[in-house]
Amino acid sequence: MALSPLLLPQADLLFDPEFLPAAEADALLAQLTAEVAWEQRAIRLFGQEVPQPRLTAWYGDPAAHYTYSGLSWEPMPWSPALLDLRQRLEAATGARYNSVLLNYYRDGRDSMGWHSDDEPELGPAPAIASLSLGATRRFRLRPRSGVVHPPFGLDLPNGSLLLMRGPTQQHWQHALPKTARPVGPRLNLTFRWVHPH
């Protein structure tokens, strides 16, 4: 399949549920889970330090320093597998990427809260390529403004690619909620371009 548009107002979203074949996605999940230098960092929430409800890692070009949720990231050098994925995603999306944030959701208790990828170093209209490996999880989007609009839900299966670009981050927030149903591990890789300071 190829990337197809998802119709949301004031957003530019493209989706391919079968970007990678299942066997390749499974092999990548096993390889990256084993070889990535995972961390579980603490974030400040309501005045208290709490561990992030997932494992994370940041890889990229040497100048791709990144800060979000009060955390500063120094990029680890690209691995061969991540470099190959970057090149394939650049060819598929027509965008350039100099870094990737990896989030590892061990089970349904791991999650990501509502946010926009609108940090200054990403620029005003970033292209963010989100590749999902492993268990299918429900991705949610909601408007940032006070506009009444029910949250939009999208299942992200193994090997799927979601491209968020243009005005999406200005007008929408996204999240990956917890789920009570039994679910296996999921690895999400979000490739992006960080403008050097």
The CATH number of the domain holding residue 46 is 2.60.120.590
| Number of domains, the chain | 1
C-beta atoms surrounding 142 within 10 Å: 15
**Could you tell me if residue 99 is inside a domain?**
yes
d(CA 181, CA 172): 27
DSSP 76: B
pLDDT of residue 45: 67
Helix axes 22-35, 80-93, angle to 10 degrees: 140
pLDDT of residue 65: 86
**Could you tell me if residue 123 is inside a domain?**
yes
Domain that holds residue 34: 14-141+153-174+183-192
pLDDT of residue 20: 98
**Could you tell me if residue 135 is inside a domain?**
yes
CA 91 to mean position of chain CA atoms: 18
**Could you tell me if residue 7 is inside a domain?**
no
**Could you tell me if residue 3 is inside a domain?**
no
Instruction: Tell me the pLDDT of the chain (197 aa) as tens digits.
Output: 689 999 888 899 999 999 999 999 999 999 999 999 999 877 776 777 777 789 999 999 998 887 776 778 789 999 999 999 999 999 999 999 999 999 999 999 999 988 898 888 899 999 999 999 999 999 999 998 866 667 789 999 999 999 999 999 999 999 999 999 999 999 999 999 998 76
The terminus-to-terminus CA distance of the chain in angstroms comes to 37
Residue 166 half-sphere exposure, CB side, CA atoms within 13 Å? 10
**Could you tell me if residue 197 is inside a domain?**
no
d(CA 102, CA 190): 7
**Could you tell me if residue 148 is inside a domain?**
no
**Could you tell me if residue 4 is inside a domain?**
no
pLDDT of residue 1: 67
pTM of the model: 0.92
- 10 touches 167 (CB < 8 A): yes
